Amino acid sequence: MSPSLAYAYFILCIFSTLFCLTSAASSNCQGCVQLDSYSFEKVVSKFKAAVVKIDVAYPYGDKHEQFGKMSAALSSNPDILVAEVGVKDYGDKENVDVAERYKIVKEDYPVMLLFQQGKTEPIRYQGEFILEHMQRFVSSTSGLWVGLPGCLEVFDGLAKRFMATTSSSDRKEILRQAEDEWDKVSLGSERKSAEVYVKVMRKMIEKGDGFLMSELSRVDALRKGNLAKEKKDEMERRLNILQSFQKTNPTANIEL
Residues 168 and 50 both lie in one domain:
no
pLDDT tens digits in sequence order for the chain, 256 residues long: 555 555 444 443 443 443 343 344 445 688 899 999 999 999 999 999 999 999 999 999 999 999 999 998 898 789 999 999 999 988 889 999 999 999 999 999 999 999 999 998 999 999 999 998 999 899 889 988 888 889 999 999 999 999 999 999 999 999 999 999 999 999 888 999 999 999 999 999 999 999 999 999 999 999 889 999 899 989 999 999 998 998 754 433 444 4
CA distance 194 to 150: 9
Give domain status of residue 194, yes or no: yes
Residues 9 and 105 both lie in one domain:
yes
Residues 166 and 118 both lie in one domain:
no
- DSSP assignment, residue 29? S
CA distance 87 to 98: 8
Query: Which DSSP string corresponds to 47-109?
Result: SSEEEEEEEESS--SHHHHHHHHHHHHHTT-TTEEEEEEEE-SSTT-TTHHHHHHTT--GGG-
Cβ proximity of 75 and 31 under 8 Å: yes
Residues 111 and 92 both lie in one domain:
yes
Nearest to 196 by CA among 149, 254, 246, 241: 241
CA distance 163 to 57: 42
Domain end point (choices 88, 112, 142): 142
CA distances from 39 to 28, 45, 189, 250 (A): 22, 10, 43, 27
Residues 8 and 135 both lie in one domain:
yes
28: CATH: 3.40.30.10
Give domain status of residue 147, yes or no: no
Residues 132 and 39 both lie in one domain:
yes
- DSSP assignment, residue 199? H
Upstream peptide bond of 110 is cis (omega within 30 degrees of 0): yes
pTM summary value:
0.65
Nearest to 84 by CA among 233, 65, 92: 65
Give me the pLDDT at residue 76, please: 78
Domain assignment of residue 110, given as a range: 3-142
Cβ proximity of 85 and 38 under 8 Å: no
The total number of structural domains in the chain stands at 2
Residues 136 and 160 both lie in one domain:
no
